[in-house]
Amino acid sequence: MDEKQLQKAMQLISIAGDSKSQSIQAMQLAEEGKIEDAQQHLKDARKTLHEAHNIQTGWMTEEMNGAQIEKSLLLIHSQDHFMSADIMLTVAEKVINLHQEIKSLKTEA
């Protein structure tokens, strides 16, 4: 893997990890009843994941335009980080919605 591709893989791992952490923090805030803060963290996680998506899309575009992209273990690892961050974002959205509904039901009772 050349230096440019190595740098992209490490960047993707780092950015996806940041998004995943933001999603986890959002769920923790929702558990504490801080729904608005949780939603802001989720918004930040989505924005961060979009940065990771741009790296991934750029990589695919390069390959479709004829660039040789070495399929290395690090490339696969970076894609795993991206996918797990994406899944965590989806789960966090559901968890926050559930906590919001629980909070609403408790208020009504």
Catalytic residues: 77
Q: How many CB atoms lie within 10 A of CB 62?
A: 15
Q: Which of 66, 49, 10 is nearest to 1 (CA)?
A: 10
User: Rounded to whole angstroms, what are the CA distances from 28 to 16, 52, 77, 95, 107?
Assistant: 19, 23, 26, 10, 20
| Among 92, 88, 87, 86, residue whose Cα is nearest residue 12 | 86
Query: Whole-angstrom Cα distance, residue 26 to residue 44?
Result: 9
| 80 labelled binding-site residue | yes
Binding residues for Mg(2+): 80
